[in-house]
Structure 1
Amino acid sequence: MRPTLLAASLLLLAGTSHAADISVVGLFPNKAVLVVDDAPPKTYSVGAAITEGIRLVSADNTSATIETNGKRQIIALGEHVSRSNAGSGRASVALQADGQGHYVVQGQINGGTARMLLDTGATMIALPASDATRLGVDYKKGRVAYVNTANGVVPAYHVKLDTVKVGDIEINQVDAVVQEQGLPFILLGMSFLNRTEMRRDGQQMVLTKRF
């Protein structure tokens, strides 16, 4: 079976002084091919130690999950994650634009995996009803609102998400809307982004948690 090739890398802290630069160059079920600090590529099985304080906890054909000092991070295609913001100690994540200039992130909502499109034009996080149900969001208990879409004004449900996590940034009690029609994927909107500092550098977007 051929591995899925990725152009993703992750900067991790092992302890407080040593930074390990880890790149994911291939994926198998329960295995990942990693380059650590410019060493030759090496295949790691789930559960294996990558370097001091860092281990591989899961891998499939689309992503690998790394654990550092008890904190877990999903690495998806084209995503670069910095687990520390030098000099500030605040959580940050660096996102790489895709070929169309979009930032697609692999994160978590209420503890469940969620693939989201960063959208600064969206007032709140917006979820299709199918994703909300999968993530355990009882949206029918939310307040009914109306949103403008390409197909006109459609009803939506205003809800609070318990947690939203992107990289090391985890934010609690985030406003969101759930739509039963007209939305093909999750939008990571300003109800999350307003609680971060956003800095764009070329094709890279760096988010740093504010509060």
Structure 2
Amino acid sequence: MIEEPLPGQRAGRVMLIIAWLLAIALGTWLFGNWQEGKRNPNQAPQSRHGEGFIEIRLASGQGGHYLLDGRINAESVTFMLDTGATQVAIPLAVAERIGLQKLRPIQVNTANGTARGWSTAIDSLQLGDIQLHQVAAIIVPNMDGEQVLLGMSALKKLEFTQRDGTLVLRQNTVE
């Protein structure tokens, strides 16, 4: 004859199972955040204000890339700094999500060849406390992912230096 567990024993087993499930879920969440932090260590960039300038220091992520969370027209995006890109390049899905208008059609030269895209204008681009206005950009329909390439149309408005895995972006606030 099989004995039924007492009500207290059954509740204890259920609580143990729930505790294990919560521990596994918490571990998964923590590991995911740790991985994201290694990929993009600049999710909340700190700005430093000096006499006549604002600067942010960026740590390189996995693979040596500089990723940075910021905003385009007050909408959150993740940037990848790309000094080889002439303009800020925005994937079509991101452009649609943040409400950018396609202006005139253009040909875009990429590492994978020529593609079509559209010019657009960014009213406001924010990197930490650094604010840029009226930045030329392109919308690229076949660009994978959610990352916006922060190209020279934005970077030329800043001073930047890179040394020992740290990139410093500086905006002069005195004309």
Superposition TM-score tier, normalisation by shorter sequence? 0.7 to 0.9
Q: Deviations over 1:89-116 (max 9, x none)?
A: 4221111001211000100001000011
* Cα gap change, 1:150 to 1:199, in 2 (>3 Å): closer
Rg comparison, structure with higher value: 2
- The match for 1:149 among 99, 107, 110 is 110
Moved over 4 A (4+): none
Which has more strand, going by share of residues?
A: 1
1:200 counterpart = 2:162: yes
Q: TM-score, normalised by structure 2?
A: 0.72
TM-score normalized by the length of structure 1: 0.61
Q: Which one has more relative contact order, counting CA pairs under 8 Å at least 6 apart?
A: 2
User: Unaligned stretches of 5+ in structure 1?
Assistant: 7-25, 28-61, 64-75
| Counterpart selection for 2:80 from 100, 114, 117 | 117
Q: 1:149 to 1:120 in 2, by over 3 A?
A: same
Alignment gaps of 5+ in structure 2: 1-25
Report the 3-state secondary structure (helix = DSSP H, G, I; strand = E; otherwise coil) of the residue aligned with 1:162.
Answer: strand
Do 1:151 and 1:182's aligned partners in 2 also have CA atoms closer than 8 Å?
A: no
**Count of residue pairs brought into register by the alignment:** 144
Mapped to 2, the partners of 1:145 and 1:120 lie a distance apart of 20
CA distance in 2, matches of 1:134, 1:82: 26
Alpha-carbon distance in 2 for matches of 1:180, 1:144: 11
Does 2:158 correspond to 1:181? no
Aligned counterparts of 1:119 and 1:180: Cα–Cα separation in 2: 18
1:84 aligns with 2:48: yes
Q: Which has the higher helix share?
A: 2
Closer/same/farther in 2, CA of residues 5 and 210 from structure 1, 3 Å limit:
farther
